Structures are given as C-alpha cells and as structure tokens.
Homo-oligomer: A and B are copies of this chain.
Amino acid sequence: MKYARIFVRSFFKWLLIAGVVGVISGGVGTLFRLSVENANVLRQANTWLIFLLPLGGLLIVGCYQLCGIKSPIGTDRVIGSVRAEEEVPVILGPLIFVSTVITHLLGGSAGREGAALQLGGSIGTHVGKLFRLDEKDMSLIVLSGMSGVFAALFGTPLTSVFFALEVISVGVIYYSGLVPCLVSALVAYSISGYFGFDLEIEKVLAVPDFGLFPVLRVAVLGVCCAVLSILYIFTMDRVDDIFEKFFKNPYLRILTGGIVIVGLSMLFPSGHYNGSGMGVIFQALDGEADWWAFLVKILFTAVTLGAGFKGGEIVPTFFIGSTMGCFVGGLLGLDPGFAAAIGLIATFCAVVNSPVASILLGIELFGAQGLIFFGIACSISYMLSGYYGLYGSQKIMYSKTKAKYININAK
C-alpha cells in the first residue's frame, strides 16, 4: 500500500507539473512556429531580404554577447542538463527564439528543432525551479519541456515523447519520463493544433506490397540514408572547424558566413535552399526533386550554422533525406514519393540515433501502412550510421554491433 501511494502521488504530481510545462511550451512553441512560418513567407515575398543576412548575423552575435553567453552552447547544453551535468540558462530561451526567426527571415538555411529543444529545456528548468524539484526530477521536467515544444512544432505528439526519452542516451530510454513527457506533449499539441500544422501530410503513400524485392530496395535506400547522414554531419563539423580556425572573432565569422550565403543564394536563385525549405520537402513527397538538391542543402546549412546563425538541423535533415530518397528511390524502382518518405525518416534516424522516435515519426506523418518498411530503413540507417550524431553531447551507451556497454559521446 505504501508503494501504491508513492506511485499515485507521483502520477498526480507529474500530471500537474507537466501540465503547466505543457501549457507554457505549447504557447511558446506555437508562437515560435508561427513566427518562423511567417518569417519564411515574408522572405519569399521579399527576396531582397537575403542581402540583410550578414547584418542580421551581427545582430545575433551582439545579442548573445550582451547576455554574456559565449557562442558554442546550445542544444548540447540542454542534453547535458538532462544528465545533470550542466544547467540551461533561462535567457537561452528568448535568445534562440529571436535569432532563429532572424535566421529564417533573412534566408539562412536552418531548421527550428534546435531552438525548440532549447526553448523547451529552458521552460522546463524554469518551471522545475518554481516547483522546487530535486535534481532527478529536474531531468524529467527538462525532457517534458523538450517534448512539449517539439510536439507544438511538428504536430507529432508521440514522436516528440519518444524523441525526448530516447535522444539523450542512446540505448537507454528514460521511461520514468513517459507520463510527464506525454502530458506536456498532449497539452502543447492541443494548443498548437488550434492554429493548424504545416507538416500535416494528407497524402497517402504508395506503399509497395511486402515482398523480397521491395524489402531489398528499401534496405538499399536505408544504407544510402546512413551514408548521407555521415556526409551531412561530417560536412557540418568540417565547416564548423574551418570557420572557427580562420575567424576567431564571432562577429567576423558570422559576417563572412552571411556573405557566403548571399553569394550562394545568387548562384541558386530559386530560394529553395534558404530558410526551412518546407516546400521542397512537400515536392519530394509528391515525387519530384532535383538530384543535386541534397548536396546544395548540406552546403547551405553547414555554412549557416557553422557561421553562428541559429536554428536546428532536423528540418534540413528532412530536406536532404526526402530529396535524396526521392531521387535514389526512383532509380531503385520505388515510387519516388514513398521513397522520399523513407529517406526522410531513415535519415532522421541516422542523425539522431533514435529508432523508436523515427518509426513513430513515420507513422504520425504517413500512417501505419508503411510500418514494416519504416522499420527496415530505420534499423539499417541506425546501425550503419555508426557513432556519428548531430548532438556531440549525446551519449551512445551501447555498441551498435555488440551487446556491449561503451558509453561514448556521439561524433
């Protein structure tokens, strides 16, 4: 009976606290989502805005410096905070919000989930302190914040729950965060849902029947996603290093990066590679994509983020995964739209090392019909992407090839 009381008390405690986190992260997440969306719309209507990108960069660095936050912290700090290694400064929230909107408005190539995780982490930390939670509970409330903002952003509540539980330490799932994260995600999802979701995909995939050849084709595509993920992460790291090596001064660094992006945008005037690039993702899911699109997007994103602009890496991952999938899948004899969906989720899986979240993402975006193929592509891309990962502070607890405890950081 004593045990029962502990569980019931804990249940209601989380219902309350995670509910509060859900309301805040839902509100903030919705506001953030709409801001980024409108920034993209505005930019597409006013193509000259791209020329302000270098100036916008200076503004971003200025804000960070003003708040006393040195440049290279971000999502990694949030992940670290779940393991109680670091704390998320509350100011990180507003900072990342404004700088991501600036980046999207002026045509940098970036996502938004990096911002989402940081916003969520910052909200969780704040609420947790308010309720005087202890250290162990603080991790869970940070996770709740992350999954709340993620759900508000992408409209995929279960994916956001398992993403938060899974991404911190690969091989370990923080099940104790299941109820807190779910409560926060559902509340945030409901709030955000009132304003409609831009990732809502009504399209029914042309899923092939289960059989040897479709399985082999999807498996090969999974291998391509693993290779693509390594190329993406490797390029980002290299460009990062180059910027850091040649431009010690963060103002100079972001100014140069901004100018490079302006130059690249002259070369590729379609505007496809600026901002989030949602339009291109939808086109790929409809079965149309340029074969080189993913290479150009990697370049744009690596320069944007390496130079110090803000945002995230997940929507660019969706972009490169879906366009590559669309092109390669077509060559393999798969329906290009279906292959784009596979490419999207399997590349996501490879860069965040979170198979459960990735499979759920596939289901929440495209329905259950392709479930087996989602599982195949994600399992393979997970295994073959090795220990590369978007988040350097992500711990890989277990080897990918043996049942062995390794506990290393993602590369």
Contact = CB atoms under 8 A, between A and B. Distances in A.
Nearest to A383: B179
B402 A176 contact: yes
Copies of this chain held together in the complex: 2
A321 to B, nearest CB: 19
B401 A161 contact: no
A359 B403 contact: no
With a 10 A CB-CB cut-off, give which of A4, A173, A367 has the most chain B CB atoms.
A173
A401 B158 contact: no
A258 interface: no
B383 A178 contact: yes
Contact of A172 (B172, B355, B363, B399): B172
Interface in A377-395: 379-380, 382-384, 386
Interface string A1-42: 001101110110000000000000000000000000000000
A398 interface: yes
Interface of A: 3-4, 6-8, 10-11, 136-137, 139-140, 157-158, 161-162, 170-179, 182, 186, 190, 210, 215, 355-356, 359-360, 363-364, 367-368, 371-372, 375-376, 379-380, 382-384, 386, 397-404
A382 B372 CA distance: 25
A371 B158 contact: yes
Contacts of A161: 375
Contact of A4 (B210, B368, B382, B386): B386
B372 A137 contact: no
Given A178-B355, A379-B178, A402-B137, A386 B172 contact: no
9 contacts: A136-B403, A140-B403, A158-B359, A173-B356, A174-B398, A176-B401, A178-B355, A182-B375, A367-B368
Contacts of A400: 7, 175-176
A265 B268 CA distance: 77
A212 to B, nearest CB: 8
Contacts of A177: 403
A356 B179 CA distance: 13
A186 B216 CA distance: 12
